[in-house]
Amino acid sequence: MKDKNAWTTYTAKQVRELETLCSDYRTFLDEGKTERECVKKVIADAEAAGYKDFAGIIEKGGKVKAGDKVYAVCMNKTVALFNIGTDPLEKGMNILGAHIDSPRMDVKQNPLYEDTEVAYLDTHYYGGIKKYQWVTIPLAIHGVVAMKDGSLKEICIGEDEKDPVVFVSDLLIHLAAKQMNKKASVVIEGEDLDVIVGSKPLKNEDKDAVKASVLKILKDGYGIEEDDLWSAELEIVPAGKARDAGLDRSMIMAYGQDDRICAFTALTSMLQTGKMKRTACCLLVDKEEIGSVGATGMQSRFFENTVAELIEAMDAYDGKIKNTELALRRTLASSRMLSSDVSAAFDPLYAAKFDKKNAAMMGKGMVFNKFTGARGKAGSNDANAEYLGRLRKVLNDKKVIFQSAEIGKVDEGGGGTIAYIMSLYGMNVVDSGVAVLNMHAPYEVSSKADIYETKKGYDAFLTDED
């Protein structure tokens, strides 16, 4: 439990393994700053590990059997991977579920305008953020533009060292007396998070010459007209790569660690699984930061439908027609899940907000939150004692360092994950993941040791086949 710092337990070999894992993690963060980019990366890594596109198998009327590895995708924003075990699917799966969306600013559908010879993109922030943290830092534009002819243009501006960056301005301190007296929640208003993208007018242009100059850049560089922005999904995210943090390089500072830190560790564990008795699943979803809504959020029927298709495609029933609906319900109810999401790391500078004896500590290993929610556990999944007891044995047997935690003191706030949604099927679910400092800030911080221990914990969970 929380009595030891993981760093003090490692051999030289384990430190090398840890550093290799964290190097791969930084690459994952750099290549996946949006949910679409994450799914693209996941598919590439999965196919390299022998996974096949389940949609192609269904289209050809193919079958799925024990030992097969398949993946399914929903709208390029959610992905599920399955390593089919020898046990009937109705005996349940071991599921690792994380989300791959992160707080950011989304560009509106009619975004580009000029004011006093400065060109802006109008935005609408996504997820819970402290708006004042997003001004005066270098930002990048990531996303896609869907053209009228059906083609899709990918956009990434601000990540290459030769690229320009964009930014949101702030009022200079010399004129900010009234602003500094405002509540932090309104120091920067949501409608003021408009991104500056240009200030050089196009020659021989009489009206909105700076806007015209920006449009010319989009036209020449990407073939995009202003009307094409109507069918675009452009996300404004912090520019730059994930970095080692601390003079001892013990931490990682990067954008989007909530919850791509758990997505990465879950995916890495999943891709390393071999032949399974109990089917293993890794589910990476969108929209958690805004309530798991929409077609690509956990509240959609994507996962349920995919498992139903899997049951139909399996040879385990000797070709006999099963009651797929009943088999689906039995499969989900018999499954076990780790809702792989981050927890709030204890910050000594804000100790008053935490119950220290029930707070997640950096360097103390994988975190389990028996419940999340807010106030009187509202909106939470509260895992049962029997399931926690089972997990304790699994983790102790594999010498995983882990801890339990709550997100802050009672009545100070709270949070939620996808756990409560999956628990509605009757399966055992508990929140688990990595403690993160600066959660939901443009740059979040995690301990390399906690990443390593969480990966070990996910390995142990996926291979628990009793």
pLDDT in tens, 213-250: 999 999 999 999 999 999 999 999 999 999 999 999 99
Rounded to an integer, what distance in angstroms lies between the CA atom of residue 129 and that of residue 398?
A: 37
Band (pLDDT 50/70/90 cuts) for residue 322 is low
Taking only the tens place, the pLDDT of each residue in 278-299 is 999 999 999 999 999 999 999 9
With 0-12 / 13-18 / 19 or more C-beta atoms within 10 angstroms meaning exposed / middle / buried, residue 12 is exposed
Question: Over 80: is that where the pLDDT of 317 sits?
Answer: no
Question: Over 80: is that where the pLDDT of 351 sits?
Answer: yes
Per-residue tokens: 238: 């912090």
Q: What is the pLDDT of residue 320?
A: 57
State the chain's mean pLDDT as an integer: 94
Per-residue pLDDT, averaged over 324-343, amounts to: 94
Rounded to an integer, what distance in angstroms lies between the CA atom of residue 121 and that of residue 123?
A: 6
- Strand ranges for 270-388 from DSSP E: 279-285, 336-340, 343-344, 366-369, 373-374
User: Which of 1, 9, 443 lies closest to 243, judged by CA?
Assistant: 443
Q: What is the pLDDT of residue 115?
A: 97
Q: CB count, 10 Å around CB of 415?
A: 21
Q: What is the pLDDT of residue 2?
A: 53
* Cβ atoms 364, 126 nearer than 8 A: no
Band (pLDDT 50/70/90 cuts) for residue 378 is confident
The residue that leads in pLDDT, 264 or 407, is 264
Rounded to an integer, what distance in angstroms lies between the CA atom of residue 424 and that of residue 98?
A: 17
89-98, 240-249, 408-417, 421-430: the lowest-pLDDT one: 408-417
Q: What is the pLDDT of residue 231?
A: 97
With 0-12 / 13-18 / 19 or more C-beta atoms within 10 angstroms meaning exposed / middle / buried, residue 329 is middle
Share of the chain above pLDDT 70, in %: 98
- How far, CA to CA in Å, does 107 sit from each of 126, 259, 341, 346? 10, 22, 26, 34
* Cβ atoms 315, 64 nearer than 8 A: yes
* Cβ atoms 202, 212 nearer than 8 A: yes
Q: What is the pLDDT of residue 82?
A: 98
Q: What is the pLDDT of residue 154?
A: 96
DSSP state of 264: H
- How far, CA to CA in Å, does 314 sit from each of 8, 63, 185, 303? 47, 6, 53, 17
Question: Over 90: is that where the pLDDT of 16 sits?
Answer: yes
Question: Over 60: is that where the pLDDT of 41 sits?
Answer: yes
Alpha helices in 148-240 (DSSP H): 184-187, 209-222
Residues 39, 41, 43: CA angle, nearest 5 degrees: 70
Per-residue pLDDT, averaged over 295-311, amounts to: 95
Rounded to an integer, what distance in angstroms lies between the CA atom of residue 279 and that of residue 24?
A: 26
Share of the chain above pLDDT 90, in %: 89
Taking only the tens place, the pLDDT of each residue in 85-103 is 999 999 999 999 999 999 9
Q: Taken in order 67, 73, 74, 80, is the CA torsion positive or negative?
A: positive
Containing H/E element for 68? none
Rounded to an integer, what distance in angstroms lies between the CA atom of residue 369 and that of residue 358?
A: 10
Please give the domain boundaries of the chain with CATH numbers for all domains: 6-102+255-462 (3.40.630.10), 104-238 (2.30.250.10)
Per-residue pLDDT, averaged over 334-362, amounts to: 94
Rounded to an integer, what distance in angstroms lies between the CA atom of residue 296 and that of residue 299?
A: 8
Tokens 């509540």 belong to residue = 183
Per-residue tokens: 434: 């990595």
Question: Over 80: is that where the pLDDT of 413 sits?
Answer: no
Q: What is the pLDDT of residue 321?
A: 53
Question: Over 50: is that where the pLDDT of 316 sits?
Answer: no
Rounded to an integer, what distance in angstroms lies between the CA atom of residue 415 and that of residue 374?
A: 6
